[in-house]
Amino acid sequence: MSALSLKFLKAGPPPPRVVLLPDALFFVRAVPVSVDPAADALRQSAEAASQVELALEALAPFPVAQLYHGHHWVPGSDRALAFAAYRRRFTPEQSAEWADAELMLPAFACILGAEVTPATTVVLASPEGFTAVHWGVPGPVPTQVWFQSVPADAPEEDRAAARTALLRRAESKTVLDLPALPEAQPRRSDREFSFRSGELKSRISSVTAAALDVRDKADLAALRRARARDVLFWRILVGCAAAVCLLAAGEVALFGGGIWQKARRVQLSARAPLVEKIMTHQEIANHIEDLSTRRLLPIQMIEIAASKKPAATVFIRASTTGLYTLNVEAQTPNVGEIGMYKNDLEALPSCAGVVIKNPQTRDNLATFTLVVTFKPDALKAPPPPP
């Protein structure tokens, strides 16, 4: 990255385009304002603007429609600073340059957002002369603004005398001389404008700046709507670009995940024989452990099954299934004893289940298969002989 690019990134966004009009073309008056304190801020601002226009109608020699005008009023203040200039004082060429400006106002209006103490006068020097902005009483709205015209080629003594005469109009405890006209600073957000000249800083909210702008209010409203639409489209475009970047990142992540998953499958395939061999060994070990720790106890099974056997029932043959199931083929001359026998075995705490299979009767002799499943902890091997 070049040094020029680094310098551009460090500088941040450019400041807004603000047109400063000569103070000499404006007459300025502080007019009283009375609004309903119970109304919301938007309604109060509308009432203040209406009262300022009525005051301009009474003060100006021209109708308001023929003026470039604006005002400075802060909620809670009992006065507003109104200023206006005759439109015909500006050439069509000058008006054409204002179309893309974000803000157009007299030069002195840039410092109206500064925080100053009462009895403070701020003096702005321009090629046309000097402008003095005086805060006579507490509050953010100045009480008086004066302009003293001085030719641009006047000697320094004449300019100093004009400045002194300007300051004699009011008693000031503090006088601030600005080294140059305020300059617009890069905006931190769309909610305010900031200006600076020397050590003096002025911050003006977007709502206040809209009232300070001297252009036609209907044109300003249309311009704000167009800018709001452009900002909306820009944010939509940025959102779409961010979504595309997010989707692209997702695709890259999926591609990388597929490669990683493929590598894992290759590893699993390579280790499958080893895993299968380990599982086989584990099964063999489990079987050996069962054989060493668990014993088939057919004698105990037969003893338990015979403990409830009716006297007429005879066991013919016995076998086992697994470690806990006994299969007995039996016969009895009394068919009614089979159900009773089954119920007696099921009542034993050592039996988990009893099933009678294949019951058959021939020549007054019934044969059946008795399947008894025992609970694992019910069968215990006899102790070894001493």
Radius of gyration of the chain (CA): 51
Q: Quick one: which of 300, 361, 287 has its CA closest to 326?
A: 300
10 Å CB burial of residue 147 (0-12, 13-18, 19+) is: buried
**pTM, whole model, 2 decimals?**
0.58
The torsion of the CA quartet 210, 85, 50, 140, rounded to 10 degrees, works out to 60
pLDDT of residue 291: 59
- Could you say which DSSP state residue 355 is in? E
Instruction: Name the phi and psi angles at 193, rounded to 5.
Output: -115, 145
* Torsional sign, CA 276, 277, 283, 289: negative
Rounded Cα gap, residues 261 and 253, in angstroms = 12
Q: What is the pLDDT of residue 386?
A: 55
C-alpha to C-alpha distance for 32 and 15, rounded to whole angstroms: 34
What secondary structure letter does DSSP report for 91? Answer: -
Let me know: does 361 contact 337? Beta carbons within 8 Å. no
Question: CA-CA distance, 96 to 240, in Å (whole number)?
Answer: 35
Chain-centre distance for alpha carbon 302: 75
Summary count for the chain: helices (H), strands (E): 8, 16
Looking up tokens 């289940």, which residue turns up? 353
- Residue-wise DSSP of 140-197: SS-SEEEEEE--TT--HHHHHHHHHHHHTTS--SEEEEESS--EEPPPSSTTEEEEEE
Which is nearest to 335 in space by CA: 361, 315, 370? 361
Predicted local distance difference test score (pLDDT) of residue 82: 94
Find how far residue 253's CA is from the centre of its chain. Answer: 23
* Residue that has been written with the tokens 């470690």 in this structure: 323
User: Rounded to an integer, what distance in angstroms lies between the CA atom of residue 252 and that of residue 82?
Assistant: 60
How far, CA to CA in Å, does 32 sit from each of 27, 52, 77, 171, 302?
A: 16, 8, 9, 22, 116
Q: What is residue 83's predicted lDDT score, i.e. its pLDDT?
A: 94
Q: What is the DSSP string of 200-228?
A: EEEEEEHHHHHHH--S-HHHHHHHHHHHH
Per-residue pLDDT in tens (0 to 9) along the chain, 386 residues:
455 544 544 555 678 889 899 999 998 999 999 988 888 888 888 899 899 999 998 888 888 888 989 999 998 889 999 999 998 888 888 777 777 788 899 999 999 999 999 999 999 998 889 999 999 888 889 999 999 999 888 888 888 898 898 888 888 899 999 988 899 898 777 788 999 998 899 999 888 988 999 887 777 777 767 666 776 787 888 888 888 888 888 888 888 888 888 888 888 888 888 888 888 888 888 777 665 556 667 888 888 888 888 888 888 888 888 778 889 999 898 888 888 888 888 888 888 888 988 888 888 888 999 899 988 777 665 555 55
- For domain 298-378, give its CATH number from 3.40.50.410, 3.40.50.720, 3.40.190.10, 3.30.1360.100: 3.30.1360.100
